[in-house]
């Protein structure tokens, strides 16, 4: 890795972006300094993501760029001209004696520096969350207490009806996970008799009478429940048991208000991975790995953009997607300059082909598009290019399925179930070993979850799984991975493909769907 070359590249890019605005021809800042800053920032983020640059270095470069842009935006504006130039006789209008100066409020700099299109010219925070629903705090220092502990992941797949004075519904328990950080159910609440407040959207699941549920284990120990929503979906989340049960309990009885106890067998086998995970070696450079994450982010973002874009019809306006991909060529050049991407790597050409398939131009990738694309990418592209890709029904439901995957790039993933609601499919996972550094990355890629996760359904279609929400407990994170496209409930099994830089793992899981009544 060549850090000096990486920094030089980024600084030269900033120079070039600034110079373009100084050139005669287009009016100053016609293209928008924000777009130019975004490009410098995206490349800086990419170089930070692969470890070629410190975050502080990128922040310094951006701060200088912002200030350089801001002071040049003052040029040509009406009002006082440059100060301090030569003698008073040659002084431009407006730079008179101090009394006059004070009589004329001059908010331009303050306004432009504060609200200039290039953003505030102060250094961005050293730590920032990579996406809105991301980890809320950086990882506290300390050892992972879960390392080496015996873990237990049990597919549950039970529905527990409950009734209370003002509310009733069902508690769907997808799975049970017991690790060094505690024991919890992955759960979904289904409310059958919504209150007026619910209809008005005034209240959330805090209406659920947790205190009326009882949980007792096979040794007679009683537990209290804590519920934590899971990444944006209010009615889905983690129900933790307090205190943490001992290892080896055989069952738990969950008794809802006004309902019979439901026994959850923790020793029984449910739908689990068939044959165990298969691990194979891969060897991706840091640059290739980042580009693959960018490509997958592009693939999953595509549904959010106009359909003509998805069908590959040339867009009449650049659009957000085009703006977001404008730095790809520079990112690739920067990664090559930093010696973290070989000029012979096939990944840039695949990224170019992906952009072409999505109808996105102006990305600046120098190599011609590749002829071959990975099968999951092709599957997703084929889905988008169908006439009405979004018309497949996504029926509400959840599927119990668990599997613990071998460690990938220091991250241990456990699959905790699949859930369909409001047209969205989610794969719930437990992740350990993640480093929540919170570095932002190009295209909103989540660097805290540096894995590529795909699902192949029983119909042979692939679904990308990208992080959509987190909650941290101790050194563990429960995460919701949004599946694009959603999974239909006709799916009887899934094959999960999780890839890191050094290895990928595949595991096949039967799905046992449960549905709201």
Partner 1 sequence: MTDRPNEPWFGCLAPCEAHLPCGQGRHIVRWEAGALRLPSHADAEAELVLAALGGEKAKCVEVAQAWGRHAEDLSVLAIGPRGPADEIAVSWDDVDAAAQASGRDWSGYWAGPLGSPSHGPMRLASPPPAAAQAWAQVRQQQQMQETERAAQRRNDMLSLLALGYGFQVRLIGQVAQAHADRPDEAMEKVRPPLVAAIAGRLAPVAEEWLGIDPDQVVVSLRRGPGWGSVELTGRGEQRRLRVSLPAGWLGRVWAAGLALVGRHLVVAVDRAGWPDARVLALRAPGTEPVHIDVHASSGRPGALDAPHWEI
Name which of residues 90 to 119 contact partner 1 (CB under 8 A). 90-91, 94-95, 97-99, 101-102, 104-110, 113-114
Q: What angle do CA 193, 195, 198 make, to 5 degrees?
A: 110
136 binds partner 1 (CB under 8 A): yes
**ω before 243 within 30° of 0 (cis)?**
yes
Candidate residues 1, 31, 127, 202; the one interacting with partner 1 per rule CB under 8 A: 127
Query: How crowded is residue 10: how many other Cβ atoms within 10 Å of its Cβ?
Result: 28
Cα separation, 199 vs 197, in Å, equals: 5
Residue list 289-318, contact with partner 1 (CB under 8 A): none
Nearer to partner 1, 380 or 436 (CB): 436
54: left (phi over 0), alpha (psi -120 to 50) or beta: beta
Cα separation, 217 vs 245, in Å, equals 8
- Is 493 a binding residue for partner 1 by CB under 8 A? The answer is no
Minimum distance from residue 63 beta carbon to partner 1 (Å): 7
Ramachandran angles phi, psi of 304, nearest 5° = -85, 0
Q: Is 198 a binder of partner 1 (CB under 8 A)? A: no
- The piece of 126-134, 153-161, 186-194, 384-392 that touches partner 1 (CB under 8 A) is 126-134
Query: Among 37-45, 228-236, 368-376, 404-412, which window interacts with partner 1 (CB under 8 A)?
Result: 228-236
Beta carbon nearer to partner 1, 20 or 308: 20
Q: Which residues pair with 163 in a beta bridge?
A: 168
* Helix 347-358 and helix 375-384, axial crossing angle in degrees, nearest 10: 10
- Short-list 95, 9, 34, 68, CA closest to 330: 9
CB of 405 to partner 1, least distance (A): 24
Told to check if 149 binds partner 1 by CB under 8 A, we report: no
Q: How far is the CB of 283 from partner 1 (least distance, A)?
A: 29
Backbone torsion region of residue 58, taken as left when φ is above 0, otherwise alpha when ψ lies between -120 and 50, otherwise beta:
alpha
**Closer residue to partner 1 in complex, CB, 240/285:** 240
Q: Which residues sit opposite 431 in a β-bridge?
A: 413, 477
Site for partner 1, residues 13 to 32, rule: CB under 8 A: 14-16, 18-19, 22
Please, what is the minimum distance in Å from the beta carbon of residue 70 to partner 1?
A: 9
Question: Under rule CB under 8 A, how many of the chain's residues touch partner 1?
Answer: 81
204 binds partner 1 (CB under 8 A): yes
As given in the structure block, the two tokens for residue 400 are 């119990």
Distance linking the first and last C-alpha atoms of the chain: 57
Shortest distance (Å) from residue 299 CB to partner 1: 24
* Contacts with partner 1, 449-478, as mask; x by CB under 8 A: --------------------x-x-x-----
Structure tokens at 471: 């909650």
Does the footprint of partner 1 cover residue 126 (CB under 8 A)? yes
Radius of gyration of the CA atoms of the chain, in A: 27
Q: Footprint of partner 1 on residues 42-81 (CB under 8 A)? A: 60-61, 63-65, 67-68, 71-72, 74-75, 79-81
3 state DSSP class of 250: coil
């Amino acid at each position: 890795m060549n850090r000096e070359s990486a920094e030089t590249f980024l600084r030269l890019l900033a120079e070039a972006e600034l110079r373009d605005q100084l050139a005669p021809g287009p009016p100053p800042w016609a293209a928008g300094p924000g777009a130019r800053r975004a490009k410098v920032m995206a490349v800086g983020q990419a170089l930070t993501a692969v470890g070629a640059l410190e975050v502080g270095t990128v922040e310094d470069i951006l701060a200088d760029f912002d200030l350089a842009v801001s002071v040049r935006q003052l040029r040509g504006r009406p009002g006082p001209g440059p100060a301090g130039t030569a003698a008073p006789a040659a002084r431009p209008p407006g730079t008179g004696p101090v009394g006059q100066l004070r009589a004329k409020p001059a908010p331009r700099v303050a306004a432009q520096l504060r609200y200039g299109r290039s953003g505030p010219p102060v250094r961005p925070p050293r730590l920032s969350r990579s996406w809105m629903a991301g980890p809320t705090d950086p990882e506290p220092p300390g050892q992972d207490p879960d390392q080496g502990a015996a873990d237990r992941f049990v597919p549950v797949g039970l529905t527990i009806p409950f009734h209370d004075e003002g509310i009733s519904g069902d508690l769907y328990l997808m799975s049970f996970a017991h690790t060094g950080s505690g024991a919890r159910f992955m759960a979904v609440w289904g409310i059958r008799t919504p209150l007026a407040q619910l209809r008005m959207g005034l209240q959330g699941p805090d209406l659920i009478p947790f205190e009326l549920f009882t949980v007792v284990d096979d040794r007679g120990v009683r537990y209290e429940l804590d519920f934590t929503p899971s990444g944006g979906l209010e009615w889905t989340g983690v129900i933790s048991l307090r205190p943490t049960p001992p290892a080896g309990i055989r069952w738990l009885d969950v008794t809802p208000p006004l309902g019979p106890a439901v026994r959850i067998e923790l020793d029984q086998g449910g739908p689990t991975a068939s044959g165990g995970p298969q691990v194979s070696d891969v060897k991706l450079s840091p640059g290739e790995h980042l580009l693959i994450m960018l490509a997958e982010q592009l693939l999953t973002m595509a549904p959010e953009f106009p359909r003509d874009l998805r069908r590959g019809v040339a867009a009449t306006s650049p659009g957000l997607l085009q703006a977001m991909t404008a730095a790809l060529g520079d990112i690739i050049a920067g990664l090559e300059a930093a010696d973290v991407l070989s000029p012979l790597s096939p990944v840039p050409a695949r990224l170019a082909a992906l952009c072409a398939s999505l109808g996105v131009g102006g990305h600046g990738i120098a190599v011609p598009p590749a002829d071959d694309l990975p099968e999951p990418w092709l599957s997703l592209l084929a889905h988008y290019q169908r006439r009405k890709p979004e018309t497949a029904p996504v029926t509400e439901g959840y599927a119990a399925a668990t599997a613990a995957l071998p460690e990938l790039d220091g991250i241990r993933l456990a699959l905790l179930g699949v859930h369909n609601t409001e047209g969205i499919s989610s794969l719930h996972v437990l992740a350990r070993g993640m480093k929540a550094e919170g570095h932002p990355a190009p295209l909103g890629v989540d660097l805290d979850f540096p894995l590529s996760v795909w699902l192949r359904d029983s119909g042979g279609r692939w679904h990308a799984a990208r992080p959509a929400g987190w909650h941290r407990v101790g050194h563990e994170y429960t995460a919701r991975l949004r599946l694009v496209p959603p999974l239909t409930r006709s799916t009887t099994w899934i094959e999960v493909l999780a890839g890191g830089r050094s290895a990928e793992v595949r595991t096949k899981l039967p799905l046992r769907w449960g549905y709201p009544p």
